[in-house]
Structure formats: C-alpha cells, structure tokens
Structure 1
Amino acid sequence: MPKKLINDPDDLIAELIEGIISAHPNHLTVQGKTSRAIVAINGPRDGKVGIVVGGGSGHEPAFAGYVGKGLADAAPLGNIFASPSPTQIMDAGFAADGGAGVLFLYGNYTGDVMNFGMAEESMAKQGVVARSFVTTDDVASAPADKSNERRGIAGNFFVFKVAGAAADLDLTLEDVEVAARRANDATRTMGVALSACSMPQTGKANFDIPDGDMEIGMGIHGEPGIVRLPAESADAVTDRLMQPILAELALKAGDKVAVLVNGLGSTTLLELYLLHRRVAQILHAENVTIYHSWVGEYCTSLEMGGASVSLIKLDEDLQRWLDHPCDTPALRVGTGQNTVEKPAKRSPRKQTHIQERTKREPSSLDSSGQITPEVFRDMMVASAEAIFSQRNYLCELDGDLGDGDHGITMEIGWKAALSVVEQTDVKATILELCEDMGQAFLDAVGASVGPLYASGFNTAGEAVSDRLNLDAQAMISWLDGMTRGITVRGGASVGDKTMIDAWEPAVAAAKQAFEKGASVGDCLTAGARAASMGAEATTQMQSNRGRSKKLGIRSVGHKDPGAASAAIMIVAWAKTVQAL
C-alpha cells in the first residue's frame, strides 16, 4: 500500500484541523470545547437558518471544505470514516445557530444517524430547534422502492450547495429543508472502485481488489462495492454508471442537468476528464443540456482509486440555488478568491452544562458478591487490553464488510474509557464507572460504536444501581443491561449479523448456568463461550443492518466484526473473574 505522510496516528485529526485552519484563515475557525467544530468566519448570522454538514474525516475536501459564506456554517469532524460524536456535533450546531433553527445534513449511515439524532435531541432540550436531513443519492445501495435506505455519497455536494443557498437567502427552516429534499430527490450517483484505501493506523488495504477487476457501487468509506466485475475501459465504465442514473432521473430531450465527476482519492484528473467526456456524449445523444460541470476531488475516500458520477436534474429553483454565490475553501461560486468580509452580527449563544450526577452513599448499597468495584475495574482493563491486541484482526474483519475501522474505533473508545476510569474516584460505584465509560465512548468514538456502547454501559449501570458489589445474579443483570441498551439504541435482533448475535447468546447462556447453581465466574465463562459461538455463527449470515447490508449475499462468508469484538470482551471478563 502507498506510504502516508502522517505523524502520530493518535494526533491525526487534531493536526488535520490545525492544517485546515492554517491554510484557510480567512474562511475558517474552530469553536467549542471539543475543538472538532470547524466554523465559517463569515457564515453564521442572526435570523439565518444554521447549516451544519458533517461526517467522518478521510473524505477531504468534504466536509470542512464546504464551510463558508453562502454554504455551510459549520462542520463537525469525526475520526477517519466515523461519525462525529453528539458533543462535537452540538459544538457545530451552537456555533451555526442564528436563532432561526439549525439543519444538520449528512449521509445516510447508521453511526451518523445515531449521533446527529442524539445531538438534535440534546439541542432541543437547550431551546434550539435542530433537524436532520440525510442524503440518499447512491443508486447502487438500494432499489428505487427503498430509496430511503440508500447511502449518501458524492451527491452530497449538490444537496449541501442547495441547502446553503436557501439558508443564505433567509428561507425558513421548513423551506430550507424542502429545498434540500428537492435537491436530494433530483440527484443520483454511481461509483466505481479500482483499488482499496488503507486506514492510517494500520496501513493495510481495507479489502482486496485483484488485478484486472473493479468494484461497482462502492460507498465513500473504503467498503467494497455491490458487485465485482472485470475492469473495463473509461467509456464502458461510464456507460455502466450512467445507465441506472438516466433510468431513475427519467431525463428527456430539453432537460437540464449539472454534473459532478468525483475522484475518490488517487484517480488522476486525466481519467476523470475521460469519464466526463463520455458523460457529455451520452447526454448530448439524449438532447439533455449540461448547465454546469465540476470535475475533480470533492468527496474522497482517503487514497482509494476510482470515481463516481453524479447528476442533478435541474429546475428553475435548483439552478438558481446552484448559481447562488458561495465562498468556501473547496467551492467558490460567483465570488472572488479568498474574499474577506467583516463577520455578520451574531448574538452570543450559550450551551448549558450537564449537571453532575447524584451520588449514592455506598453504605446504602448491596455489598454481597465477589465482583467489587475494584474487580470490575480489572475486568474493564482486561477487555481493553484484549481489544488492543486484536485491533488489526477486527479491522481486517471490518474490511470485508465495511470501512475497515472497527478495531480502531474500539481501540479509541477503550483508551478513552480507561483514561476516565483511571481518573475516577477510587470509591466510585460500578454505576458511576459505567456512566463515565459510556460518556467516554460516546465522546471519543462517534461512529455507531459510540452511541451503542454508551447506551449499553448506561443501561447496564442502571441495572445494578442498587449494588456495591455484584454476585452472579447481579452480574447477569449487568450483562442483560448491556444487551438491552445496545438493542434499544441500534434496533438489531439476533440473526441480523451484528454484535447482538454475540450479546444475546451470552446473556441466555449465563442465565442458564445460574439456574443450575453456577458461580459468577462459571456464569461468565458460559456466556463467553456462547458469545464466541454466536460471533462465529455470523459468518454464514447475510447482513440485515448497517453498511454491510448493502453487500447483500456478498456479506455471507465473513464474520461480523462487532460480534467478534463483543465476544473478545466477554471472554476477557470471564478470565479475569475466574482468576480470582
């Protein structure tokens, strides 16, 4: 794989943001306690709907590159290919808020939907009306009758531009959302991958594309495509990409479109212009006019080789919104370069801080049981170390089904969790430790893992809130709480090929062992054995949830990484308790 010009991978996002700001000081600044919200210097203003676009890093110039006057007011940056956390999103939301509401725009991915949704709820509690709009332009990821399940990929470009223009023209929140929907409904994208990308932390390809092959219908997170075919010429590939786009947009003679030919990271402009040449020929043959074209890198996937073609079918309003001036690092329309204006007037926005939790007196809690808070800490350390040792393995599993980052996100989450555990009062209860670890996962990871394990830890802690120590029955209640929290937040069931396929069997087996009089260690061991078997069983399942669902039958034959990591943790907990 290509070498990368990076420093310490742990500092990657902070240094990325520092580089973005230093390169575009006339356009961008950073606001908020997380230091992850990139904000337009000349964007937010009183009385205007705030526009927040976002997602993970690794897609540059998306998403921060579209922050600026006339387009987005702010963008929270997540880790590589991972949604920003609710706290990071809220920093961007409050920075963008001008008192007329805030619209979050992002691609239709499980982690983004969870994290932006949680931020939306939290902002509402503080008096700010925030709404979410998900983009769904990827034709390959679901059939037309299930378009709401489609991914948002490079066609984000058109939806963001239209929403930003509508907001800059002082339309209401409802009308800006309508404009975004009209743009999304009129936009279709298809893509092709010629080579995989690699995560900076591992340096390994997310998946393998043999020489002479290509992947049709891939997303923008380094995941495989919907189908693998022998590589074809530029014209043949363009024909293949354009056919479903033309069919769905139902273009006819006299229609007008805008075109985006987007490079995924390592494809040359020469190749992209060849694709555009063929797009223009096809549209000319249909007597469809190209109103404007953009060719280049607008939404990448690290160094992935390949490209996508997006078309937006224009009407009078959509054309006017595309023409509306904007001035951002990645896109300038109707304005000079590096314009500097005095920032618009804005009233100060204040976030309220969450009140500290109510502490419970340890003497009032049930102290029976072998698992003390100290032992519980040891269990958490053991599971973290087990995840660290299996990071690359988990990334390899995820590369077969998704974006190849599961081991990295779990490592980031557990590093954050261990850090807060080390800082937590030695007298903290298991409930308090769970609350701290859940918040640490949520703040550090984002993605889908953050909300899922935050909900899991919080629900597990509440399940044993009356306990100082845990006996076998209480330990099973804690495991059951983890499972319920994850299930309620994510909505998955056994058989969907997710982490639930490890958690549910673990709880059932532990309960069965307890009914036979097993010790807490033996109950955990039974649960660990069942979790491992459940994770292994996902290999033969077809995915029904998340990004891997888009692969259909191609997901069969690969173990689910979330189930694998769950089993690794439960095994580590069992070994720790059995060693007492």
Structure 2
Amino acid sequence: MTKTKKLINAPEDIIPQLVSGMVAAHPDLLSVEGDSGRAIVAVDGPRDGKVGVVVGGGSGHEPAFAGYVGRGLADAAAVGNIFASPSPEQILDAARAVDCGAGILFLYGNYTGDVMNFTMAAEELEAAGTAVQQVQVADDIASAPVERRDERRGIAGDFFVFKIAGAAADLGEPLSRVAALAQKANLATFSMGVALGACSLPQTGKPNFEIGDDEMEIGMGLHGEPGIRREKLASADSVTDELMDTILGEMAPKPGDRVAVLVNGLGSTSQVELYIIFNRLKQILDAREITIHRAWVGEYATSLEMAGASITLIRLDDELTTLLDHPCRSVALTVGAVESGSTADVRSSRKTAASTNAPQASPSAPVALNESGLITPTIFRRMMQHAGDQIITERDWLSELDGVIGDGDHGVTMEIGWKAVQAALNNAPAEETIEGSCKRMAKAFLDAVGASSGPLYATAFLRAGAAVSDRRNLGPNALALWLAAALQGIRDRGRAEAGDKTMIDAWVPAVEAAQKAAASGSELAVLQAARDGAEAGMKATADLESRRGRSAKLGARSRGHIDPGAASTYVILRAMAAAMEQEAAAQ
C-alpha cells in the first residue's frame, strides 16, 4: 500500500502544534484555557449571565470544531485527537472556562465516543452544581432510516446547529431555550455525502480505506466510515441529483419554502468541483420553487485529505432565519458585524472561584489487605506494561481492521492510551496497590484518548480495581473477579451486549472461561483461559452484523470482518497471559 505524505513533525506533537498554531494565528479570536491544553476559548464571547456553548470532537475536521469558536457562535471547543472524541477532562476545561452562571450547552456529533465523553463531563459538572444540557447533531440521512433518526451520525450539519445555538445564547436566551433551538435546527437539517478517495491518519501514513480509481462511495461518513453503497464514478450532476433526491425525499419541502445550503468539501476537493455541485443544486431547487436564503460553498467540515463532498440543507422558518442571520465572528464563519469586548477577566475570576471551591479529598484510614496470590502489585504492573507493548506492536493491524468497518483509528487510539498507561505506571510508587494502579491507569487512558475507548477502558480499570480493593495480591479467584468487573464496567458504560459486534464479544467468553479456570487454583490457567476465550470471541465477530458503534451504520456490509475492539481485547489478554508465563518460568 502506498504511503501518503504530510507536512508534519512528530505524530505525537500534531495536536499541541495544531492548537498552538491556530491560537497564534488568531490571537484576537482565540485563547487556550485549562491544564489539558485542549480547550480553545473565544476571547470575545463568554460573559456573565450567558449560556456557555461548548462544541467539540476529534481533530482532522478543520475548521471544525475550533473554527466555530467566537462571538455569536460557540464559546469554546474541546479538541480531541485525530478522529477521536476529546476526553472528559478536556471537555471540562472548555466548560469551566465559559461557565458564566447560566449553564452549559454541549453540542457534538452523534458518535459513541463523543456521547460517552461529553456525558461523563456533564455528570461531573452537574455534581458540582452547574446546569448542563446536550444536543447530539444527527444530520446524516445515509447513516440510519428516518424511524431511527436518533442513531444518525453528525457530519457537516454541525455548521447550522452551532450557528443557531450560538446566536440564541448570544441573544441571552436561557439554557433550556438555547438547547431547544439547537434541537430544532438539528431536526431541520439534512445531509448526505460522497467520497471519491481515502484520507490517511498521520500516525500510519496509509489510506484508511481502499476505493477503485473508477469508484465512489455514496453516504460516506466524516471519518472515512463506509457509506451505504459503492458505485462507478458518475458526473457531478448525476451525483448531485442522487444526493439531492435523497435529501429532498425526506425533507419534503413545498414550493415557496426557504432553505440554507452548505456544499462542503471533505479536504481535497477543489472549489471548481464544489461550485459545479452547487450549480446543479440550485437548478434543482429553482425547479421546485424553493428559495435559497443563504449559501456557503467551501471546506467547513473536512476529513483530513479525503476527496469528496457533502450537501447539507436546513429548512428555515422565521425563527431559524433570524438566528441564522444573527452576527457572528469566528475563524471559519463571519456573518454581519459583531460588537466586541474582551471577557477574559470574567472567565478568569470564575475559574479561580471554581478552583477555590473544589472539594478536597479526605485521607482514608489504612486497611489490612489480603496478600494471598502470586500476582503482586509489581507483577500486575509488569503485565499491564506488556499489554501496552503488544498493543503498540499490533497498532497497524488494529487500524487496518478498523479501516474496513470504521474510521481506521482504533490501533492509533489504543496505542496513545496504552503509552499513557505505561508512562503513568512508570511513576507509580513501589508500594502502590493494584487498585491504586488501576485508578492511575484509568485516569491516564481517559485523559490521553477520549474516543470511545477512553471511557470504556477507564471504567473497566476503575471497576476492576474496586473489585479487588481488599487485596494486595491476586490469586486465581481474585483475578477472575478483576476480569469480570472490567467486563461489567465496559457493559455499563457502553450499553453493548454479546452479539452486538463489539469488544464485549471477546470479553464475555474470556471472563466465562476465566471463571471456570479459577477452580484449578492457577493464576496462569485463568489468564490462558481468558486469552483463548477472547480469541474465539474475536474470530466469531466476523460472522456478526454490527449493532453498536460506527460500524452499525453498515448493516450487512459489516459481516465478514473481525471487530477491532474485540481484536484489541484479545491482544491485551494474550499479553497478560504471556507476561504471567514469563513470571512462572522465572520462578
């Protein structure tokens, strides 16, 4: 496979350098707030009594999401890794920076990772007394039928939903009203796209899917997820006709209706092509006597260097039209003229107050721990380090599996998370308990990754550690308990079950096998059984049709392919067993 070329430095420095460069280029519009370095905040936006609008998602879609931070638009954006949701801590940094007493609205695309991470952040804010509401943008009509509209993913329709919500907040509407107007815009927005060529992740330098020179993918997702079908490449007018027929078929506009239009390039589509698409689009709307109130043509929500385009229409009434026309100023979008005035002092004073009022943890009394079992805290940490090594080794394989039915970043995401875990464990004191190391791992993984893997594995580590909090060492039964608690944490956080074609399909047989093997009295037997159960479960996912996550949009097209989450589960449990085999050989 041909390697792609990008003007980057070290892959691990991409996001910090992106953030630094963007803020340096627009110091009159943007600043960075919070310890995570991933919260981009409007210099001129947040103010006392105003709802704080926080948007966010993975990088690689620029100018989305930080490009829509500014007066009259979003107050802050949480910036995730390439194609991966920001972590709860990054989202919290953004929210705290713009919390001006009227509550926070989270706006983001309807993807599993974003839903989990923003929800975790919302729970923490609400526990601290801040009112939070959330709206998941779900405009991609190719990703689910209308009767399951709440399952649709968000693509370029973010553009209109952000604009409407930002205007409502700027006008002083209360939180419930801003959220309701954002949802109204969401329900009035319809998108569909086409891809002609793949993009490539900076960490791998490989196209994240394959497509023939004479082919196009109808309904492609914004991360390179496969669409609804693959066809021979057609003319611009034919493609526009197909996209518009589907959009208008669901929108069902009447003569005299008003719409706003976005013709969006996915990263490497020329303006020439985009204007040709718009030309045909206008002919179609003119023939139906539908008025275009406003139109934007260009790159507003990209997918790295993917070739292709999407069309988005929002049906307007008087209320939405007024909000769409409300002045705003940001890197990616300016409408009219805005009144400016820096609000940095307001944010700084509120952040200081929030830090001052933060609850302080009380030291807990020491507890006598059960020391039976061969797996000491030191051996446990070596097992986790080896799991990280194996994930890093298998990164490209995991990403290739994900590229077939997802967005191609699973291996990269897992590598980032496990490298963070390894670094955190390197700093663990020798006397730290297994529960303490699990907490350390959970925070490291979640802060580093976000995405869907972050909340899932963070919850798994926390639950597993809590399940053995009364122990210093792990014996066979305690090890099986640790694995079962990890599985339950993933189930509770992700709401997936066996048969959904997710990592659960590897975890369930792994835990069942481990529990049976625990009766043998051998820690090694437990891990070997878990490894073998995970391998069988992973292979069985090839016969399943996906019902959860991004690949669920594929339906029957997901059959015949191993689930990447199940594969990484197998890699982790295989590594843990191998580490224990090494310990046994050394004794």
Q: Tell me the TM-score normalised to structure 2 length.
A: 0.96
Note the C-alpha offset of 1:343.
3.3
Conserved 8 A contact 2:45-2:342: no
Candidates 484, 488, 491, aligned match of 2:492: 488
Q: What is the CA-CA distance between 1:225 and the residue it aligns to?
A: 1.4
Q: How does 1:298-309 map to 2 (within 5 A)?
A: 298-309=300-311
Asked if residue 464 in structure 1 is aligned to residue 468 in structure 2, the reply is yes
Whether 2:240 is the aligned partner of 1:241: answer no
Identity across aligned pairs (percent)?
A: 57
Instruction: State the AA in 1 paired with 2:525.
Output: D
Cα displacement string for residues 138-161 of structure 1 (whole angstroms, at most 9, x for unaligned residues): 000010111011111101100000
Following superposition of structure 1 onto structure 2, how do residues 383-402 of structure 1 map, counting pairs within 5 Å? 383-402=387-406
Q: Deviations over 1:18-39 (max 9, x none)?
A: 1100111110000011110000
Aligned-pair distance for 1:504? Answer: 0.8
Residue among 522, 535, 539 paired with 1:536:
539
1:253 is aligned to 255
Residue of structure 1 in register with 2:386 after alignment = 382
* Number of positions where the alignment pairs a residue of Structure 1 with one of Structure 2: 576
Q: Aligned match of 1:499 in 499, 503, 514?
A: 503
Q: Which residue of 2 aligns with 1:564?
A: 567
Deviation at 1:131, TM superposition (A): 1.2
Give the deviation of 1:181 after TM superposition.
Answer: 1.2
> How far does residue 482 in structure 1 lie from its aligned partner after superposition?
0.8
SS in 2 for 1:54: strand
Deviations 1:9-53 (A, max 9, x none): 001100000110011111000001111000000000001111111
Give, in angstroms, the shift of residue 358 of structure 1. Answer: 4.8
Gapped regions of structure 1 (runs ≥ 5): none
Shift of 1:4: 0.4
Q: Distance in 2 between matches of 1:127 and 1:71?
A: 25
When residues 345 and 514 of structure 1 are mapped into structure 2, their CA distance, relative to the original with a 3 A threshold, is closer
Quote the residue 1:270 is aligned against.
272
- Give the letter for the 1:36 counterpart: R
1:361 shift after superposition: 3.5
Structure 1: distance between partners of 2:460 and 2:279: 51
* Counterpart position of 2:99: 97
Relative to 1, partners in 2 of residues 1:469 and 1:345: Cα closer, same or farther, differing over 3 Å? closer
Contact 1:40 1:67 in 2 (8 A): yes
Q: 1:87-486 residue pairs with structure 2 within 5 A?
A: 87-335=89-337, 341-343=341-343, 346=346, 348-350=349-351, 351-352=354-355, 353=358, 355-356=360-361, 358=363, 361=366, 364-486=368-490
- C-alpha distance in 2 between matches for 1:182 and 1:492: 29
Q: Where in structure 2 are the equivalents of 1:37-48 lying within 5 Å?
A: 37-48=39-50
Q: Does 1:26 align with 2:8?
A: no
Distance in 2 of aligned mates of 1:460 and 1:357:
23
Which residue among 507, 527, 547 is the counterpart of 1:524?
Answer: 527
Is contact 1:264-1:305 (8 Å) kept?
Answer: yes
One-letter amino acid of the counterpart of residue 557, structure 2: R
> Which portions of structure 1, spanning 4 or more consecutive aligned residues, are displaced by more than 3 angstroms?
339-345, 350-362
Counterpart-to-counterpart distance in 1, 2:265 and 2:241: 17
- State the shift of 1:113 in Å: 0.3
Residue 231 of structure 1 and its aligned partner are, at CA, apart by 1.0
User: What is the RMSD of the two structures over their aligned residues, measured on CA atoms?
Assistant: 1.3
- CA offsets per residue over residues 255-304 of structure 1, 9 Å max, x none? 11110000000000000001000100000000001111000000000000
TM-fit CA distance, 1:578: 2.0
Deviations 1:34-84 (A, max 9, x none): 110000000000011111111010000000000000101000100000000
- Tell me if structure 2 keeps the 8 A contact 1:498–1:563: yes
**TM superposition score normalised by structure 1:** 0.97
Q: Describe the superposition over 1:405-434 as per-residue Cα deviations: whole angstroms up to 9, x where unpaired.
A: 111111111111111111111100000000
Distance 1:501 1:358 in 2: 39
1:389 is displaced (CA, Å) by 0.4
Q: Equivalent residue of 1:79, what SS?
A: strand
Contact kept? 2:4, 2:207, Cα under 8 Å:
no
Q: Tell me, in whole angstroms, the C-alpha distance in 1 between the residues paired with 2:204 and 2:456.
A: 24
Specify whether residues 58 and 354 from structure 1 end up closer, same or farther in structure 2 by C-alpha distance, changes over 3 A only.
Answer: farther
Given residue 537 of structure 1, which amino acid in structure 2 is its aligned partner?
A
Candidates 576, 581, 585, aligned match of 1:573: 576
Say which SS state the counterpart of residue 32 (structure 2) adopts.
Answer: strand
Contact 1:26 1:340 in 2 (8 A): no
Q: Deviations over 1:337-371 (max 9, x none)?
A: xx864437726223345645855646x10101000
Q: Is the 8 A contact 1:46 1:345 kept in 2?
A: no
Q: 1:376 and 1:457 mapped to 2: Cα distance?
A: 13
